[in-house]
Amino acid sequence: MLAETALWYGTVTAVDSQDPDQHLVVRAQAGDREAFAAIYSRYQGPIARLAANITRRPNEAPDLVQEIFTKIYFSLDRVRSDVPFRPWLYRVAGNHCLDYLRKQKRQPRTDSLIPEYDDGWLASTGPDPARKSEARDLVDKLFHGLRPRDRWLLVMKEIEGLSLDEMAAITGMAHSALKVALFRARKRMQKQYQMLRQRTTI
């Protein structure tokens, strides 16, 4: 199931010369710890969400985040000035999560998602705590039934709001291939939803 991990290894290509993170990256590369702390503060939340949603182990997300940013810190010299930082960061984080799952050699267990997850997919449920809890449980089950690759794509697009340009830079996939992969991931999630509905109506 995790043989697709190799898909996420490759060269990140430039997508936008106006990188808002570049000044922090340059300072961090020169040894400025405050600059790296600013990078961590900016991306710690998104990377925690990503790790929790891909691995399905939100309780272990803090450790994964620390591992990812440690890897980022010691790899800053590899970040080129003509390549946006965020796609590179998400590629490193995604690879780390997929490698983590591969090392586990077992199906990820079902856990609740971290609270920040509510800000996106669950916004339409309104302020009713019961509805939010029900929606969270449903989405959790749907994500659990997907392959890690599908989760990764959907997290990037639907939760983190990355553009196709950024996703192409991260994955090395063409826009057309990404659109097909996203369509198929959504169809598989829809199938999971239909199966869950059938079980609850029997």
Domain count for the chain, please give it: 1
Look up the CATH number of the domain holding residue 79: 1.10.1740.10
Tell me the average pLDDT across 77-81: 86
Which domain does 77 fall in, by range?
19-201
> Model pTM?
0.68
Return the pLDDT at 5: 35
In a domain, 6, yes or no: no
In a domain, 4, yes or no: no
In a domain, 7, yes or no: no
In a domain, 9, yes or no: no
In a domain, 10, yes or no: no
Range list of H helices, 56-128 = 61-73, 85-104
Tell me the average pLDDT across 117-130: 46
- Whether the Cβ atoms of residue 174 and residue 182 lie closer than 8 Å to each other: no
- Highest mean pLDDT among 3-12, 37-46, 92-101, 155-164 belongs to 37-46
Q: Residue 75 burial by CB count (10 A; 0-12/13-18/19+): exposed, middle or buried? A: exposed
In sequence order, what DSSP letters do the residues of 130-142 get, joined into one string?
HHHHHHHHHHHHH
Scan for tokens 């999630």, then name that residue.
Answer: 189
Residue 11 has pLDDT above 60, yes or no: no
- Whether the Cβ atoms of residue 170 and residue 95 lie closer than 8 Å to each other: no
Residues near 73 by beta carbon (within 8 Å), at least 6 away in sequence: 28, 36
